[in-house]
């Protein structure tokens, strides 16, 4: 009898590792392959950065409460965020879509309006793609390309003991936004016609439906002459991303709960669900902020930047990844990605 | 009331045109965008060529008779073929998959075995991708990147009157292969347990399930110092591709039926279905051969190449796109793509 291993036994990272562990790059131009936010291809000093995302209806988005224009915008943003997370500037995207026959041309136009809006806002070109008819649900596949000078690529595996841990923007809001929309969807399903009660939740819902990518932070790095020692984008929750950098870089870290940037709007929204806002930042997802480490020497350069928070520092691997809570307790940081959290 | 246009009213090409007609490229490096086999990005003389394909279970492939290893191989080949069709050499691919939970890790491994086999055979690197769980069927999205020196890019819109029309390999076989497999599937559905009768059809079925891309032709162009005046790959049937080059280039053409390369195996298989082999070449699909035009001066360089057939020549636009049949009749060449044909 043939062996059968369930994908769930491996998990997503396990599966990716399983599928890619034997890759040996053949082309001299392939500088960096699987395992970071994006791959890197060399062109005589200038390098091309490539990343790709596959989004499926019912898995990654719910058209019940996601306007198509926002979906188009967000699908592009998710890819641009990966390019910025390499310290690169995105230049081109390809967009492939599988269309269910429920979708009219007007609906597709709305989706592309969002795609083009993101292209315009971030200065990238849509250069290609593929369209197919899908028997079952809307399918979106986007690939983004970016440019960078060779010596400025920032990977995930190069954080060092003593480096300062930072993140951009604020965290946890998109997850609360999702909770609100899921709640209203449930109510609507049970009592059709009821108008959604999202009064006062514009910020958290906006963060979920129309996120932005952190172009401004990458531009600031360039101006301030900072090259982070490691970086990735925060799409699966802060703790999962920090653990990823620790593991890849072979270091530990100390994270200070009180330093995690969470806005009042997010806190108030979280309390309505009786959820700890910190848990949302640690284990929520889709923030599309940047998590990065810098050399201590660079601290002065960014300490006054209003869009950057210093949240901790890297330690030796033996000390593990820890969080010091507001109450003064030291806990092990655990990986609770987006999916794990949703099961609670 | 909101307007609703059905996608079917536009057709695939109409939809692509509709969605991309307002694109203005912003980055100086974006040399060529939507509308050819692949996009082109400049890097100081060397250019990057990008193409992407989205493949959906039940639309593009049928797992009833498609071994996963072959599917992996073919999915890569379809993309490499687009890169070769730009006269470029593929260097990297990204592979994203949406997995239905029916699929075991062993099944996914089989798929990737095919992907890696194609990578090895064609010297390309798998550098990234995305995995997602799909609620409904297997989803494959592949993006391929390639390299080329700036002055060697071959597009679709640059054929000129008087150019010689050529194609590589032989045509029509994959379509007959599909007919056989669909027939056997139908029989099996009606009478489970019946063994498939594919005796003697190895060639046509092999062409469908495990196509190759025409790397050797592009290498020959380099050696023989030929730069075609236009080129595209034959994936939707010869007539549709010829009409595409004619329209984009603003020329007409004369195609000679007797020159269309169709193998004996294909002819014999077609006769079993009482189908005209020429119709299969004109309107079948998935041949992954190259269709190209050359200057008359280059004719001597390729006339003895066993893998290239001269099938016609380009005329002025006013003369239209014509086919001279073996019987000596002159017909208008009509666009019958793969999909149109299947409906008959």
pLDDT of amino acid B343: 32
How many whole angstroms separate alpha carbon B57 and alpha carbon A85? 33
pLDDT of amino acid B13: 66
B27 CB neighbours in chain A (<8 A) are: 91-92, 123-125
Paired sense of beta strands A251-256 and A321-324, if any: parallel
CB atoms B32 and A127 under 8 Å = yes
Q: Which residues, at least 6 apart from B312, have a Cβ–Cβ distance to it below 8 Å?
A: B164, B165, B253, B254, B255, B256, B259
CB atoms A48 and B48 under 8 Å = yes
Phi, psi of A64 (to 5 degrees): -60, -40
> Is it the case that residue A241 has pLDDT exceeding 50?
yes
pLDDT of amino acid B16: 65
Cα distance from N-terminal residue to C-terminal residue, chain B: 36
A34 CB neighbours in chain B (<8 A) are: 126-129
Look-up: residue for tokens 């920090």? A242
> Is it the case that residue B340 has pLDDT exceeding 50?
no
Rg (CA), chain B: 20
Q: Mind giving me the DSSP string for A227-285?
A: --SEEEEESS-HHHHHHHHHHHHTEEEEEEGGGS---HHHHHHHHHTT--HHHHHHH--
Of residues B12, B16, B127, nearest to A34 (C-beta): B127
What percentage of chain B exceeds 90 in pLDDT? 66
> Is it the case that residue B323 has pLDDT exceeding 60?
yes
A137 CB neighbours in chain B (<8 A) are: 135-136
How many whole angstroms separate alpha carbon A257 and alpha carbon A239? 11
CB atoms A131 and B15 under 8 Å = yes
pLDDT of amino acid A336: 65
Q: Which residues, at least 6 apart from B57, have a Cβ–Cβ distance to it below 8 Å?
A: B63, B100, B137, B138, B139
Cα-Cα-Cα-Cα dihedral sign, residues A128, A134, A140, A141? negative
- The residues with which A162 forms a beta bridge, in sequence order, are none
B210/A6: higher pLDDT = B210
pLDDT of amino acid A48: 87
Q: Using 50, 70 and 90 to split pLDDT, how confident is the model at B266?
A: very high
B175/B102: higher pLDDT = B175
Q: Using 50, 70 and 90 to split pLDDT, how confident is the model at B242?
A: very high
pLDDT of amino acid A259: 97
- Of A160-174, B106-120, B162-176, B210-224, which range is least confident? B106-120
How many whole angstroms separate alpha carbon A43 and alpha carbon A66? 39
Q: Using 50, 70 and 90 to split pLDDT, how confident is the model at B251?
A: very high
- Of B261, B294, B252, B290, nearest to B164 (Cα)? B294
A12 CB neighbours in chain B (<8 A) are: 131
Q: Summarize the confidence of residues A236-243 as an average pLDDT.
A: 94
> Is it the case that residue B279 has pLDDT exceeding 50?
yes
Of residues A50, A96, A98, nearest to B127 (C-beta): A50
Query: Three-state DSSP class for B249?
Result: helix
A55 CB neighbours in chain B (<8 A) are: 132
> Is it the case that residue A44 has pLDDT exceeding 80?
no
How many angstroms away from the CA of A203 is the closest CA of chain B? 28
pLDDT of amino acid B287: 96
Asked whether A138 and A58 are in contact (CB, 8 A), the reply is no
Paired sense of beta strands A39-43 and A30-32, if any: antiparallel
CB atoms B4 and A29 under 8 Å = no
* pLDDT tens readout for residues B67-86: 999 999 999 999 999 999 99
Of residues A10, A23, A25, nearest to B105 (C-beta): A10
Asked whether A72 and A113 are in contact (CB, 8 A), the reply is yes
pLDDT of amino acid B342: 36
Asked whether A131 and B17 are in contact (CB, 8 A), the reply is no
CB atoms B145 and A33 under 8 Å = no
Q: Using 50, 70 and 90 to split pLDDT, how confident is the model at B61?
A: very high
* pLDDT tens readout for residues B187-232: 888 887 777 777 778 999 999 999 999 999 999 999 999 999 999 9
Asked whether B112 and B72 are in contact (CB, 8 A), the reply is yes
- Of A276-285, B45-54, B287-296, which range is least confident? B45-54
Domains observed in chain A = 28-152 (3.30.1330.10), 164-342 (3.90.650.10)
> Is it the case that residue A221 has pLDDT exceeding 50?
yes
pLDDT of amino acid A217: 98
CB atoms A52 and B15 under 8 Å = no
HEC letters along B25-69 = CCCCCEEECCCCCCEEEEECCEEEEEEEEEEEECCCECCCCCCHH
Cα distance from N-terminal residue to C-terminal residue, chain A: 37
Q: Which residues, at least 6 apart from A304, have a Cβ–Cβ distance to it below 8 Å?
A: none
CB atoms A7 and B137 under 8 Å = no
Q: In this predicted complex, what is the ipTM?
A: 0.84
Q: Using 50, 70 and 90 to split pLDDT, how confident is the model at A128?
A: confident
pLDDT of amino acid B35: 65
Nearest CA in chain B to A91: B27
Look-up: residue for tokens 């003991």? A161
> Is it the case that residue B339 has pLDDT exceeding 50?
no
Of residues B56, B135, B145, nearest to A50 (C-beta): B145
Asked whether B33 and B157 are in contact (CB, 8 A), the reply is no
């Amino acid at each position: 009898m043939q062996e059968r291993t369930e994908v769930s036994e491996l998990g997503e990272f396990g599966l990716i590792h399983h599928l890619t562990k034997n890759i040996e790059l053949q082309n001299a131009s392939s500088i960096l392959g699987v395992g970071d936010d994006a791959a890197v291809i060399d062109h005589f000093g200038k390098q091309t950065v490539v990343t790709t995302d596959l989004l499926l209806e019912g898995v990654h988005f719910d058209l019940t409460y996601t306007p198509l224009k926002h979906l188009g915008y967000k699908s592009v943003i998710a890819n641009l965020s990966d390019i910025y997370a390499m310290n690169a500037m995105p230049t081109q995207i390809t967009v492939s879509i599988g269309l269910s026959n429920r979708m009219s041309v007007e609906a597709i136009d709305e989706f592309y309006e969002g795609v083009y809006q993101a292209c315009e806002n971030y200065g990238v070109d849509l250069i290609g793609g593929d369209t197919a008819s899908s028997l079952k649900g809307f399918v979106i596949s986007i690939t983004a390309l970016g440019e960078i000078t060779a010596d400025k690529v920032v990977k995930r595996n190069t954080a060092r003991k003593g480096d300062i841990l930072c993140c951009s923007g604020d965290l946890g809001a998109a997850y609360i936004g999702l909770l609100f929309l899921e709640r209203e969807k449930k109510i609507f399903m049970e009592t059709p016609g009821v108008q959604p009660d999202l009064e006062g939740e514009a910020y958290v819902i906006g963060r979920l439906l129309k996120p932005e990518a952190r172009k401004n932070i990458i531009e600031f790095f360039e101006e301030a002459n900072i090259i982070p020692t490691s970086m990735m984008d925060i799409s699966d929750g802060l703790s999962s991303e920090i653990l990823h950098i620790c593991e890849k870089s072979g270091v530990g870290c100390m994270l200070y709960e009180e330093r995690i940037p969470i806005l009042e709007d997010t806190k108030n929204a979280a309390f309505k669900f009786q959820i700890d806002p910190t848990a949302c930042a640690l284990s929520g997802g889709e923030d599309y902020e940047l998590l990065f480490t810098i050399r201590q020497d660079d601290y002065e350069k960014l300490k006054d930047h209003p869009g950057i928070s210093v949240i901790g520092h890297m330690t030796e691997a033996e000390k593990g990844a820890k969080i010091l809570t507001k109450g003064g307790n030291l806990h092990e940081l655990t990986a609770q990605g987006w999916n794990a959290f949703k099961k609670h």
